[in-house]
Amino acid sequence: MFEVIGERINTSRKNVQAAVSERNAEYIIDDVKKQQAAGANFIDVNAGARIGHEVEDMKWLINTIQPIATVPLCLDSPDPTVLEMAFQMVEKTPMINSISLEKERFDAMIPFLNEKNCKVIALCMDDNGMPSSSDDIVQRAIKLVEELNKIKIKTENIYIDPLVQPISTDVKKGVMVLDAVRAIKLKFPEVHISGGLSNISYGLPQRKIINRTFVSLMMAAGMDSAIIDPLDQKIMATIKTADMLLGHDNFCGNYLRGVRAGVIES
Q: For residue 33, what are the domain limits?
A: 3-260
What is the number of structural domains in the chain? 1
Q: How far is the C-alpha of 177 from the C-alpha of 185, rounded, in Å?
A: 12
In-domain check, residue 237: yes
Whether 228 is in a domain gets the answer: yes
pTM of the entire predicted model: 0.97
Domain-embedded: residue 10? yes
Q: Are 33 and 256 in contact (CB under 8 A)?
A: no
Let me know if residue 98 belongs to a domain: yes
Question: Does residue 196 sit within a domain?
Answer: yes
Task: List the CATH number of the domain containing 112.
Answer: 3.20.20.20
Sheet with 73-76, edge to edge strand ranges:
192-193, 158-161, 119-123, 95-100, 73-76, 42-46, 3-10, 225-228
In a domain, 266, yes or no: no
Q: Is residue 265 part of a domain?
A: no
b/e sequence 67-97, b meaning 16+ C-beta within 10 Å: eebebbbbbbbbbbebbebbbeebeeebbbb
| Residue 53, domain member (yes or no) | yes
Per-residue pLDDT of the chain (266 residues; tens, 9 = 90+): 999 999 999 999 999 999 999 999 999 999 999 999 999 999 999 999 999 999 999 999 999 999 999 999 999 999 999 999 999 999 999 999 999 999 999 999 999 999 999 999 999 999 999 999 999 999 999 999 999 999 999 999 999 999 999 999 999 999 999 999 999 999 999 999 999 999 999 999 999 999 999 999 999 999 999 999 999 999 999 999 999 999 999 999 999 999 999 999 88
